[in-house]
Amino acid sequence: MSKLPPFPANFLWGTATSAYQIEGSPLADGAGPSIWQRFAHTPKMMVNGDTGDVACDHYRRYKEDVALMRELGMKSYRFSIAWSRIFPEGKGRVNPAGLDFYSRLVDELLAAGIEPMATLYHWDLPAALDDRGGWLNPDIAEWFGDYAATMFRALDGRVKLWATLNEPWVVTDGGYLHGALAPGHRNYFEAPIASHHLMRSHGRAVQVYRAEGKHQIGLVVNLEPKYPASQSEQDLAALRRADAYMNRQYLDPAVHGRYPEEMKEIFGSAWPEWPAEDFALIRQPMDFIGVNYYTRNVTRHDEQSWPLKASPVKQTQATYTETGWEVCPQAFTDVLVWVKKLYGDTPIYITENGSAFYDPPNAPDGKIHDPLRIHYLRSHLNAIRAAIAQGVDVRGYFGWSFLDNLEWSLGFSKRFGLVHVNFETQQRTPKDSMRLYSRIVASNGTVLDDEGE
């Protein structure tokens, strides 16, 4: 008999995707270009020159995809809205065809008995706004608020779960500090500004929702718990910097109305002093925190690592995914308990969790056997149960990802999907991990107690 508690009776089970990674047709029906459309078409920025021009062709195949979700027993689906489909110029004129696409998608989900969760921003800023400075322009909080209001008026009621931003840390670290992601900047001084305006925009969208919406809204952050490589003061200081930069930089202002003290140490003269009224805007009451978890980080002091002076230590006796991330379910439990300790009893949704492993070709039986992903799924769902046993209020789980998709600058070279996609034929094939997940959902997790699974 398992010592772990069952999942709550009303636990919300689903999968997640994002617009640019799966939709394709990025300029269809009057949509404007996004920064990812530009970035993907910039030479040498994407593995194999891959782009999201077709991706999973979900824009045209969404009915088939929703039918597959229904067949597989999914209870919920987290998707993101492409801002530039709604506002081709980023602000001002609304594109009715863009609104209509998401309205039809939501109606299709509801008709299938699937609860939608909509994310307003998953990295694909309208290129027209990037031309005006993008996340470096303080006006963007109002632009984002206007976009959010448009979506709330169109969909709230049919959509009852909203997320403002997905992983603001990735937006700034990859897009403004290291240049590996759109818009491809590498600037020490820009990163704190972009982060701050992202958080101001989050606050503005929550404000708007309190006026326009009637249900729930929250922020989605990616958390990577840090552990010290040793108990030396240098390693412990490196851990504090790494933890502040990745894990507390966004939750601290959203919940407590301040940035971690370590941010000044990390950025020095590039760290601005922000007015108090900005924190009053950022610190809006949230209905939930969305946690994206993939891996942990064992941290050591490293003078050569910019800007944190901290770097990860590879673990010799550990499994790593194809993206180089250590598989560590215990750290998942730890970080959920940490969120409760630092940020109180705000409900949590696991808005992303998954793994990229090599998928062998179809077996003779036509199936795709992915035992490493199955082990990852089982162990991480049990890690959530262990956190629930310690009093963490976890309300739902969205496996990343429903479909194999464009893994940003890594192109189609890494597969996170529970459903395999043949990118030449667009054929969808549920993997063994998806078949198991269907049984987990149908049993509300009790299948995890069956040793034979």
Instruction: Determine whether 224 is an active site residue.
Output: no
Query: Which tens digits make up the pLDDT trace of 280-314?
Result: 999 999 999 999 999 999 999 999 999 999 999 99
3-state DSSP helix/strand/coil percent for the chain, to nearest 5? Answer: 45, 15, 40
| CB half-sphere exposure, 340, CA atoms < 13 A | 17
Q: Which CATH class is domain 12-449?
A: alpha beta
Query: Residue 48 region, left (φ>0) first, then alpha (ψ -120 to 50), else beta?
Result: left
Q: Residue 222 burial (CB < 10 Å; 0-12/13-18/19+)? A: buried
Determine how many CB atoms are found less than 10 A away from the CB of residue 92. Answer: 10
- Rounded Cα distance, 449 and 384, in Å: 14
Pick from 327, 309, 308, 307: nearest CA to 317 = 327
Q: What is the pLDDT of residue 67?
A: 98
Both structure tokens of 220: 């989605």
> Of the residues 115, 190, 262, 352, which is catalytic?
352
Q: Residue 231 burial (CB < 10 Å; 0-12/13-18/19+)? A: exposed
β-pair partners for 400? 16
**Strand 226-228 versus strand 297-301 pairing type:** parallel
Chain CA centroid to CA 259, Å: 21
Both structure tokens of 186: 């590498």
> Of the residues 23, 108, 115, 167, which is catalytic?
167
Q: What is the pLDDT of residue 230?
A: 97
Instruction: Determine whether 407 is an active site residue.
Output: no
**Contact call for residues 319 and 372 (beta carbons, < 8 A):** yes
- The beta strands (E) that lie in 205-273 are given as 216-222, 226-228
**Contact call for residues 245 and 263 (beta carbons, < 8 A):** yes
β-pair partners for 247? none
- Rounded Cα distance, 406 and 447, in Å: 31
Q: What is the pLDDT of residue 366?
A: 83
Q: How far is CA 361 from CA 8, 47, 109, 176, 368, in A?
A: 37, 21, 31, 38, 7
Domain boundaries, the chain: 12-449
- Rounded Cα distance, 392 and 389, in Å: 7
Q: Is residue 234 classed as helix, strand or coil in its secondary structure?
A: helix
**Contact call for residues 397 and 384 (beta carbons, < 8 A):** yes
> Which residue positions in the chain have pLDDT lower than 50?
1, 453
Q: What is the pLDDT of residue 362?
A: 77
